Amino acid sequence: MRESRTVQRPWQVWALTALWAIKGAEELLRGLLGTGFYVYSQATHGLLFGYALQVAIQSLLFSMVLTAGNFYVMGALWLGKRPARTWGVVFAMLSQIAVLAYLITRPPEFGGMVTLVRYVVVASIVNLGIATFLLFDPKLAAFLGSTRLVGWWSARHR
């Protein structure tokens, strides 16, 4: 008998890896590079200084952490590493907190309230959906080899 050397990844791994790749690329382009160019432009023209510059730099650092985390979770999911579940939930919730912060801060580039609410609703569905799959999907838990996050509130199905 011939032994198969391919990894049998469930469809959830394929879908979540693609979502994390998109989230990582978006955070890299919009969060890190876009904000970085904006901060640099405003600071060199003397329009951004003091506390506002400090907050902008903190935003850049947060985007850097989210970018690195998104790409880490993407790679760990694809490789079937156990920490992918824990870190996936952590970074999905960090992204959710940042998305909900938009409702309070309302950046000027969003324009009207309809655009802002649409963005928050879609991003919330994605973030909470990712966390739900990572926490409760038995095929994903079996592939990643960890049922630690499932806990007492969910039956373990094999």
Domain locations in the chain as residue ranges: 11-144
Q: Is 130 exposed, middle or buried (0-12, 13-18, 19+ CB in 10 A)?
A: buried
Identify the pLDDT of residue 92: 96
Write b or e for each residue in 4-39: b if 16 or more Cβ atoms lie within 10 A of its Cβ, otherwise e: eeeeeeeebbeebbebbbebbebbbeebbeebbeeb
pLDDT tens digit at each of 158 positions of the chain: 566 666 678 899 999 999 999 999 999 999 899 999 999 999 999 999 999 899 999 999 999 999 999 999 999 999 889 899 999 999 999 999 999 988 888 766 666 778 788 888 999 999 999 999 998 888 888 888 765 555 555 455 55
- Rounded to whole angstroms, the Cα distance separating 89 from 72 reads 12
- What's the CA gap between 123 and 100, in Å, rounded? 9
